[in-house]
Amino acid sequence: MPSFLREFFKRNGFGMGSLMLGLVLFWTIGLIILPQLSMLDFSFRPNLPPPEIGGPKDVYTVENYKYLVFGPEGGSQSYNAVDLNVFFRTLVAAVCVTIFNLILCYPIAYYLAQTKGNHIRIFALMLIIPYWINEILRAFALRIIFGETGVFNNMLVGLGIFDTPFDFIRNDIALYAGLGYAYILLMIFPIYNVIESLDRNQIEAARDMGASWTKIHQRVVIPYAKPGISSGCTMVFMLSAGALAAPQILGGPSSLWFTQLIYQQFNDNSDWPQGAAYAVVLLVTCILLVLAIMRLFKVNMGDIGK
Amino acid sequence: MSAGVGVDLENLWIRFGDFVAVRDANVNINGGDFFSFLGPSGCGKTTILRAVSGFLEPSDGRVLIGGNNMKGIGPNKRPTALIFQNLALFPLMKVWENITFSMEIKGASARERRKRADELLDMIALPGQGDKLPSELSGGQRQRVAIARALCAEPDVLLLDEPLSALDLKLRQHMRTELREIQQRVGITFIYITHDQGEALTMSDNIAVMKAGVIDQIGDGKTIYNDPATAFAASFVGENNVFRGKVKRVMGDEALIATNRSGDLVARISTANQGRMKEGDEAMMFIRPEAFALAPQGAAGDHFVTAKVNHEEFEGNAFNIFMEGDGGKELKVSIPNLGQSFDDHTGQNITLEYETKNAVCVPAGELAAE
Ligand SMILES: Nc1ncnc2c1ncn2[C@@H]1O[C@H](COP(=O)(O)OP(=O)(O)O)[C@@H](O)[C@H]1O
Ligand SMILES: [Mg+2]
């Protein structure tokens, strides 16, 4: 038995230790790793009617992956332009949502973390309480706000800024707002946590030595907050790339999110292997992208956990 | 004709809501001086320093640096550099980047900065340590880096907020000397804050003694120690024995005090209070432990004190005798160890004598807490 395990059992007792270890293993292996592995397995199989499963035709194949790139065999186009387009647009949009979110949340997190007083707690509550409401309801609420006769359009038309209502939905503004808002807390809290532990004297020391506010943030606060920023950005990026409800409800008719394609494969086409392949591609691409960006900004994996 | 830039506080008040943190402070600090604010924790020292550095605007009164009113001028625009109580080095920057941060702000090239950092590192006796992170240095080294960082900004006035309080005793004493040397070398004004009277006395040209937002006395170390203006200053700076009583008679710059426990004793009236004490006033008289000598048993007069010995201790350089004193506080006497034989007096009454010049009286007032 490795020494850290022995230490673990000594501290918690054998009974309690086994129970905790068992639950953790069940959680990671049973609920996360095995289902993902079976998805991976699915993605390499043909879509067969139930009687043929396990039969001679049930062999491993890369057909499903080829489909994403090249489209149906013998199709009119040499590439699956539609799906690939959606795929890349989704990634770019998720990056944009993440950047937009960061720009919005960093000042909020900084303000929350560096200001003392009771009103801060109220402010934080006001951020948290809306999240008690179901995600789908929140999305519909935004749809109403951004709708043709919604608050925004009433205001803009009322103020005479626009003559006719602006179509926020068709122009995807509602979608970006919805995605941005959906993960605001996941961006704010990691950054808040790190900045809260930043010694205020460091900010004052920089100021004392003549630094402007931009310089203070650039040289003192942001480097210090980097683990929180990376943690927030990773979560927001992963979750917006994988979001389904917001694009479904707030997306314009012409703009599909890649998750919607996956959903269609599973649900409408009953093609689980195809859906699984799409999902795997999305997951792997997102992970690689995150790793590459972490590398670019010299962030360690350990920092993400902060 | 002093070089350097002076600092003046004129009728300075600082309030936080209803709470008065600094009450009507008037201080003139000469250019090139090592000036200390000395007072117990919470008396408003940091608050004064923050007003000088520009992090706090005075509620009333003025802060002048080099004769210029600093009103409305932010900390980044004042010719001051502040060394924080916890140093506040930037943990993610290397030592040399920390030191030259002020040059980075002004847009100096990395090459220039590196050069200046090396000069300063030599000055603070840390050559070649520029590429370390602050966390890789010891407490004393970090201390010096903070000083170098502040000096690199070439301030006219260096402000130091209890910079030695985190160090151990040995290092603290060493750094006292070093700070004093640095100050004399660079020749700029140092404003130093401390609750440690030893630090204030050893380093400063002038000291302001503070109590609960009020400046009790300003003077050089010898004046503060020998000629305290208030009961607080007398009891806060150095060890002192207090005798409470009433003025019985005033004789020029001396007074006879009818003490509560030890009969009539004669004392010098401290300079600040001459002409201000009159018969019948409540008074306090102070005699330092080292100002007493053993006197023949039972000798009586206006400079003899007789009391019962509670216990004694041998401190190496001195024998300390603790006797029944005034107001429940023990009377402490230190007899220097010059190799003489020394009997145990515990439980006996002994008589002490002092010279009038070593006893000082002031109007009764609040004493420093232990
Ligand atoms: N920002 C503030 N708000 C309210 N009270 C304060 C503030 N800063 C300091 N004080 C109060 O002012 C007094 C003096 O504080 P400070 O100057 O830090 O004392 P010192 O440095 O002498 O220990 C303390 O009682 C402290 O509680
Ligand atoms: Mg302080």
Backbone angles phi, psi at B349, to 5 degrees: -85, 135
Whether B315 and B257 have beta carbons less than 8 Å apart is answered as no
User: What average pLDDT does range A148-174 have in this prediction?
Assistant: 85
Calculate the average pLDDT of chain A: 88
Measured between CA atoms, the residue of chain B closest to residue A222 is B92
Q: How does pLDDT run across A215-265, given as a tens digit for each residue?
A: 999 999 999 999 999 999 999 999 999 999 889 888 877 778 999 999 998
Position B226 scores a pLDDT of: 95
User: What average pLDDT does range B70-85 have in this prediction?
Assistant: 93
User: What average pLDDT does range A290-302 have in this prediction?
Assistant: 86
Whether A157 and A168 have beta carbons less than 8 Å apart is answered as no
CB contact under 8 A, A209 and B55: no
Residues from chain A that touch B91, judged by Cβ atoms under 8 A, are: 224
Measured between CA atoms, the residue of chain A closest to residue B151 is A209
Closest CA to B89 of B20, B135, B41: B135
List the domains of chain B with CATH numbers: 7-226 (3.40.50.300), 238-363 (2.40.50.100)
Residue from B16, B99, B105 to probe the interface with A (highest A Cβ count within 10 Å): B105
Pick from A207, A219, A223: which is nearest to B75 by CB? A207
CB contact under 8 A, B91 and A224: yes
Q: Is B21 in the pocket of ligand 1 (CB under 6 A)?
A: yes
The model's pTM: 0.82
Ligand 1 atom with the shortest distance to the CA of B40: 22
Q: Would you call A199 an interface residue with chain B, using a CB distance cutoff of 8 Å?
A: yes
CB contact under 8 A, B101 and A206: yes
Ligand 1 atom with the shortest distance to the CA of B41: 23
Q: Is B317 in the pocket of ligand 1 (CB under 6 A)?
A: no
CB contact under 8 A, B80 and A224: no
Measured between CA atoms, the residue of chain B closest to residue A215 is B105
Position A153 scores a pLDDT of: 87
Backbone angles phi, psi at B15, to 5 degrees: -120, 145
Q: Which regions of B51-204 does DSSP assign to beta strands (E)?
A: 60-65, 68-69, 80-83, 157-161, 189-194
Measured between CA atoms, the residue of chain B closest to residue A218 is B105
Q: Please, which pLDDT band fits residue A118 given cuts at 50, 70 and 90?
A: confident
Q: Would you call A117 an interface residue with chain B, using a CB distance cutoff of 8 Å?
A: no
pLDDT of A22 over the 60 cut: yes
Ligand 1 atom with the shortest distance to the CA of B210: 22
User: What average pLDDT does range A175-200 have in this prediction?
Assistant: 91
pLDDT of B1 over the 70 cut: no
Most confident of A131-135, A158-162, A172-176, A273-277: A273-277
pLDDT of A11 over the 50 cut: yes
Q: Is B194 in the pocket of ligand 1 (CB under 6 A)?
A: no
User: What are the structural domain ranges in chain A?
Assistant: 1-43, 51-304
Instruction: Tell me the two tokens of residue A124.
Output: 């934080």
Ligand 1 atom with the shortest distance to the CA of B19: 5
| Residue B309, min C-alpha distance to chain A (Å) | 50
Residues from chain A that touch B77, judged by Cβ atoms under 8 A, are: 210
pLDDT of B2 over the 70 cut: no
Compute and round to an integer the Cα radius of gyration of chain B.
24
| Residue A192, min C-alpha distance to chain B (Å) | 18
Pick from A202, A207, A224: which is nearest to B76 by CB? A207
Whole-number Å distance between alpha carbons of A76 and A143: 37
pLDDT of A305 over the 70 cut: no
Pocket test for ligand 1, best of B14, B19, B37, B85 (most atoms within 8 A of CB): B19
Nearest CA to ligand 1 atom 3: B16
Q: Is B43 in the pocket of ligand 1 (CB under 6 A)?
A: yes
Position A306 scores a pLDDT of: 56
Residue type at A81?
Answer: A
Distance B212 CA to ligand 1 centre (A): 10
Q: Is B44 in the pocket of ligand 1 (CB under 6 A)?
A: yes
Strand order in the sheet with B349-353: B293-294, B349-353, B304-314, B318-323, B331-336
| Residue B195, min C-alpha distance to chain A (Å) | 20
Q: Please, which pLDDT band fits residue B370 given cuts at 50, 70 and 90?
A: low
CATH for A51-304 (1.10.3720.10, 3.30.420.40, 3.40.50.300, 3.40.50.12280): 1.10.3720.10
Q: How does pLDDT run across A63-90, given as a tens digit for each residue?
A: 889 888 888 877 677 888 888 999 999 9
User: What average pLDDT does range B114-129 have in this prediction?
Assistant: 92
Query: CB under 8 Å, gap of 24 or more: what pairs does B205-208 form?
Result: B205/B30, B205/B33, B205/B34, B205/B35, B206/B29, B206/B30, B206/B33, B206/B34, B206/B35, B206/B36, B207/B35, B207/B36, B207/B37, B207/B38, B208/B27, B208/B35, B208/B36, B208/B37, B208/B38
Whether B61 and B12 have beta carbons less than 8 Å apart is answered as yes
- Specify the length of chain A in residues: 306
Q: Would you call A300 an interface residue with chain B, using a CB distance cutoff of 8 Å?
A: no
| Residue B79, min C-alpha distance to chain A (Å) | 9
Backbone angles phi, psi at B314, to 5 degrees: -105, 120
